[in-house]
Amino acid sequence: MTDHDAEWFESWFGEDYIALYPHRDVAEAKKAIDLIAGILDGRKVRRALDLACGPGRHARFLAERWWTSGTDLSEVLLRFAQRTGVQAKLVRADIRELPYRESSFDLVVNLFTSFGYFETDDEHERVIRDLARVIAPGGSFVIDFLNAQLVRRTLVPLDTKVVNGKQVEQRREITSDGRFVVKHIHIGTGGREFIERVRLFTDKELTALLEKSGFQIHQSFGDYDGGPLGADAPRVILVARRN
């Protein structure tokens, strides 16, 4: 793991995260993996990696098709994945320094906006470079990211709800430089506060990052049904191959 000061994701992705988002959709996760399997169209996959796998809802369905490893920094989320029976080899690691040998995987996925968490674009580029190292030549990488255009147009500044008997307030803003969307989460009256911060990469910026590290974009989609990528699409899904 790298030497760095505590970052927002190190405290947020724990028990409070699991409690706040009990609705994360398993059926949606299966649809995403079904889409990926269809995209591969018979390409041989011996080993797959779920990069930033969180509680393992995607790794569960990857492991039903291929030998799968899942990696995440959060011990809490990895333990949750184990408790819920995810049949993947789960590894705690910082995605900026992957603990795998060169060309270990034929398929790597990074799903549900599990990217863009770092302060600098150099760090994001570092992730992609190391990712290229662990994917075999000709292997595939699929990234499923938020649609920055849509986020900018439809951002909800404030909402409140009750989860497990506690009031949760979520305030959202785009930073003054326009580079990040930030969510401030307050749980309970006078209770805990957390932050989420995600870099607003456009599909063109993601494409440039991937191409710089030796990937070529082969397909793109805007949702888990395989719909087209566009300004109003809910997701940015890019399918790349390592040269």
pTM for this model (two decimals): 0.93
* Range list of β-strands (E), 188-234: 192-199, 215-221
Q: Are 224 and 32 in contact (CB under 8 A)?
A: yes
The residue count of the chain comes to 243
Domain-embedded: residue 130: yes
> Would you say residue 207 lies in a domain?
yes
Alpha carbons 196 and 184: distance in angstroms, whole number: 7
**Same structural domain for residues 101 and 207?**
yes
Among 195, 212, 228, the domain boundary falls at 195
Same domain, yes or no: 214 and 226? yes
Q: Do 208 and 188 fall into the same domain? A: no
| 212 and 122 part of one domain | yes
Residue 1 lies in a domain: no
Q: State the residue for tokens 């951002």.
A: 155
Domain, as residue range, for 171: 151-195
Whether 126 and 176 map to the same domain: the answer is no
Residue 141 and residue 53 share a domain: yes
Q: What is the pLDDT of residues 4-23, one digit of tens each?
A: 456 888 877 777 777 776 55
Residue 67 shares a structural domain with residue 182: no
Handedness of CA 167, 155, 229, 96 (dihedral sign): negative
**Helix, strand, coil % over all residues of the chain, rounded to 5:** 30, 35, 35
Residues 44 and 95 grouped into a single domain: yes
String of b and e for 203-227 (b: at least 16 CB within 10 Å)? beebbebbeebbbeeeebbbbbeee
* 80 & 183 share domain: no
CATH of the domain at 47: 3.40.50.150
H or E stretch at 33: helix 26-40
Are 187 and 213 members of one domain?
Answer: no
User: Is residue 16 in a domain?
Assistant: yes
* Chain Cα centroid distance, residue 201: 13
Q: Is 2 domain-assigned? A: no
Whether residues 173 and 78 share a domain: the answer is: no
What lies within 8 Å, CB to CB, of 164 at 6+ separation is 19, 22
The token pair that represents 45 in the structure block: 């996959």
Can you tell me the distance from the alpha carbon of 88 to that of 56, in angstroms, rounded to the nearest whole number?
9
At 44-66, the pLDDT tens digits run 999 999 999 999 999 999 999 99
State how far the Cα of 41 lies from the Cα of 125, in Å rounded to an integer: 29
Q: Which among 114, 107, 79, 78 is positioned nearest to 93, based on CA atoms?
A: 78
Paired sense of beta strands 192-199 and 180-187, if any: antiparallel
Q: In whole angstroms, give the CA distance from residue 149 to residue 94.
A: 28
Distance CA 132, CA 126 (A): 10
Please indicate, yes or no, whether residues 112 and 139 belong to a single structural domain of this protein: yes
Going residue by residue through the chain (243 aa), what tens digit of pLDDT does each one get?
A: 334 456 888 877 777 777 776 556 889 999 999 999 999 988 899 999 999 999 999 999 999 999 999 999 999 999 999 999 999 999 999 999 999 999 999 999 999 999 999 999 999 999 999 999 999 999 999 999 999 999 999 999 999 988 878 888 999 999 999 999 999 999 887 678 889 999 999 999 999 999 999 999 999 999 999 999 999 999 999 999 999
- The count of structural domains within the chain is 2
